[in-house]
């Protein structure tokens, strides 16, 4: 049976709650230094890659990018809000202000992320992000470029649902995969 985004999201949330939440016991430390957690995260990245390769997300992203229907301003609130809703529904210890800040970083180069998604499928990019997160000291530049592409691609994959007030597992998984990769560099 192929992996689903939900297969990956649960473990990503567990790791976030243990290492990423300010209320967590391991806040401020890297999950990458714990072999069991690193294996769990690696499996979650693999599950995301397999899911996006098989559920039509790769082609959805390519289609939206080629027809120009994605609106970048949706990253200002819609994508982070939907990611936040999904994360909270699944008991992630995260604040809306944190998720909004992930997308609003003034140093974020969303146009480069779009270029990356034009060149490579979302499933391949998340796989590369997982490999980079497994070796964060040698891959900081890769994490900085691949992470936003994963978050953007996940939001684009859910593009038909923009404007709804429901959460989105794909957008949440993309955002969390991005942030956990950043945390690996701690």
| pLDDT value of position 120 | 97
Gap between the Cα atoms of 75 and 77, Å rounded: 6
Gap between the Cα atoms of 129 and 110, Å rounded: 16
Which residues of the chain carry a pLDDT beneath 70?
Answer: 1-2, 159-167
| pLDDT value of position 73 | 86
| pLDDT value of position 172 | 94
How far the first Cα of the chain sits from its last, in Å, is 35
| pLDDT value of position 161 | 47
- Output the CA torsion sign for 17, 20, 26, 30: positive
| pLDDT value of position 95 | 95
Asked if 53 and 130 count as a contact pair (C-beta separation under 8 A), the reply is no
| pLDDT value of position 1 | 57
């Amino acid at each position: 049976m192929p992996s689903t985004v939900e297969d990956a999201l649960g473990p990503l949330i567990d790791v976030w709650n243990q290492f990423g939440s300010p209320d967590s016991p391991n806040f401020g430390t890297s999950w990458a230094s714990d072999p069991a957690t690193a294996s769990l995260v690696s499996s979650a990245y693999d599950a995301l890659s397999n899911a996006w390769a098989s559920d039509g997300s790769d082609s959805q992203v390519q289609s939206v990018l080629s027809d120009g229907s994605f609106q970048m301003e949706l990253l200002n609130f819609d994508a982070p809000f939907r990611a936040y809703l999904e994360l909270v529904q699944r008991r992630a210890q995260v604040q809306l202000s944190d998720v909004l800040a992930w997308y609003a970083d003034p140093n974020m180069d969303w146009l480069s992320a779009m270029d990356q998604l034009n060149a490579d499928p979302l499933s391949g990019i998340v796989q590369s992000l997982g490999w980079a997160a497994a070796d964060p000291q040698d891959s900081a530049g890769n994490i900085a470029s691949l992470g936003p592409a994963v978050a953007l691609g996940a939001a684009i994959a859910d593009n038909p649902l923009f404007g709804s007030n429901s959460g989105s597992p794909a957008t949440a998984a993309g955002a969390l995969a991005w942030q956990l990769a950043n945390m690996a560099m701690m």
